[in-house]
Amino acid sequence: MQENLRTTTTEKRRIFMVGCGVVAPGASNLREFLEEVWSQKAALLPEETLNGAFLVGKPKFDFANYRNWICERHTPNKYTQLAEKSGENVQMAIGATIDAITQTPGLEKALKDLDSRVAICMGSGLGDLNLVFEEGRNWEQALWNWNHFWAAPQRNAACKAYLNGESNFPEVPQNPEELPVDSRERMNAWAKWDAFWAKETPLLKDFVSEFSAIEGAPMGSDVATDKLKLIRAKAKACKQLQEKYACPTPPWESVSPNLLWNLPNAPAAQISMLLGIHGSTWNANGACATFGLLLNEAIQKIHAGQAEVAIIGTVDNTPPPQVVSAFYSARVLATGQKVGTPLCEMRGTHVAGGACVWIVASEETLKKYKLQHLDVEIMGCGVSSDAEHIITPSLEGPKLAIRSAIQDAGIDSKTIHSWDLHATGTPGDFSELRLIEEFVPRETVISARKGIFGHGMGSNGGWELTAQLLGPKHDATKFVIPPSGIPASSVHSTISSLPRRFALDKPVSVEPSQDGLLCGKLSMGVGGITSCVIARVTQQNQN
């Protein structure tokens, strides 16, 4: 482990992006992502589970593409373990991180050398809901089978006696046989009926008693060697117990431990294990403002000298139909086969999944390890809460985040060249343009990109910042900002009448200042949390 680079002063440090990995609808890496930004083609597909009534953004991703990288650094069973036990969120976070690391020569070695001086934080808008829903379904099915087995009259004397009119029980649920066949009411009644009678059979009590005796077996004198033996002995005994009673799998055995291996902090933890670095790992959630929140925490750690490098990222499942339905019920989701575009019909946006990972480092670290940055300097961040409404942003809440970011960056807001909106294709788009009026000059180019990739609950801020900062093409005299994919003819009249300069369906040229292209990005999350990022695109490498 090398010398500690911790600063001894509170002087603000310069921080640069040294790696970026993206998984998004239609894009499995950064190159494909930027190509899609410039192509303006919406990467949204019908959700067949909901009869194609909604478009969703399904991430383009194959974990097998990272097999060789993982196997070269670990035993082959490491990849197999991750493939079998990790959910989509963990796998996409790993893939995007590997892509980010391999972009910059020498970065992987520097990360290992810095070791505990590397902080890792991964966030998610909603977590690995697909895994949660899957295990929930497994539990419900197993519980149904379990109770139905023990409640059956042929093995439940109490139920049999009641049905034969030989005994009375207080508060017995309605008999499902009295309800219409194939009705939902009948299904619900069966669940209540079975749960009631399962508790009345001595056979189940005998089973539980024997099960408890098996699981209560003590550990031997040598914990290190006896642990595995005891686990195997218990598993064998439990299997024999089920065979003895000829019963279904108990519900407590129906849920995979993968539910634990994919807790919110699992993406960060798995990345630390793959890289073999010992810096802090944690999870943070700021809804749609998550990426800016993570970036703010990362640069604070670097400014404070608590870290030299931070790996930050966000990840979102392929949108499950339950989430699409919730967005629809909240009346913020575009319906039908037509793409809902920001600034236009105000029909809402589309839910999307994917990941975005950035690696940021202090200037001292770049010089020490001779690392090339990606032409992006993180100038400042700001975070605030509305303290007003769960879903409708206020004006003053986001303004606090913008002011904080501008102050942190130490800039004059009149010098901002590019500003990216959160813009979800709702009336909030107009409100957002009103709230930036006092900060963003009218010459500034305004972009809004959710019409291309949709709305990743945690990752949209990362996607949009990446498009804004790594998307522009430039030479010695100008930057060319990529279009937002918004047909100019479709922009709502209330917005098109504003004296603003928008990047719509055509690229926009900007003459930068001597220091490069100064950019601002606002993200507003459910719950009222807002994050704002100020960054500068440098002209170190002309493209």
Residue 10 phi/psi, 5-degree rounding, is: -95, 10
Identify the residue whose tokens are 């704002």.
532
Q: Provide the token pair at 72.
A: 């070269």
- Predicted local distance difference test score (pLDDT) of residue 21: 98
Query: By C-alpha distance, which of 423, 260, 453 is closest to 345?
Result: 423
| Distances from the Cα of 501 to the Cα of 42, 430, 497, angstroms | 22, 14, 11
The CATH code for residues 18-128+263-537 is 3.40.47.10
Please answer whether residues 395 and 386 qualify as being in contact, where contact means their C-beta atoms are separated by less than 8 angstroms.
Answer: no
| Torsion on CA atoms 139, 144, 149, 153, rounded to nearest 10 | 160
pLDDT above 90 coverage of the chain, percent: 87
DSSP character string of 286-319:
-GGGHHHHHHHHHHHHHHTTS-SEEEEEEEEPSP
Quote the DSSP letter at residue 524: E
Sheet containing 529-537: give its strands across. 281-284, 118-123, 309-316, 354-362, 15-23, 376-385, 529-537, 517-524, 418-420, 445-447, 501-502
Containing H/E element for 508? strand 508-510
User: pLDDT below 50 — which residues of the chain?
Assistant: 1-10, 542-543
- Predicted local distance difference test score (pLDDT) of residue 169: 86
Identify the residue whose tokens are 């900060």.
439
- Predicted local distance difference test score (pLDDT) of residue 540: 61
For the whole model, what pTM was predicted?
0.93
CA–CA gap between residue 282 and residue 135 (Å, rounded): 24
Please write down the long-range contacts of 136-142, taking CB distance under 8 Å and 24 or more positions apart: 138/254, 138/255, 138/256, 139/251, 139/254, 139/255, 141/254, 142/248, 142/249, 142/250, 142/251, 142/253, 142/254, 142/255
Strand partners, 501: 445
CA–CA gap between residue 472 and residue 278 (Å, rounded): 36
b/e code 467-491 from CB counts within 10 Å (16+ = b): bbbbbbebeeeebbbbbbbbeeeeb
Q: Provide the token pair at 64.
A: 């097998």
Instruction: Please state the domain extents for the chain.
Output: 18-128+263-537, 136-253
CA–CA gap between residue 232 and residue 239 (Å, rounded): 11
CA–CA gap between residue 147 and residue 138 (Å, rounded): 14
pLDDT digits (tens, 9 = 90+) for 338-381: 999 999 999 999 999 999 999 999 999 999 999 999 999 999 99
| Distances from the Cα of 131 to the Cα of 92, 421, 526, angstroms | 14, 32, 22
243's CB contacts (< 8 A; 6+ apart) are: none
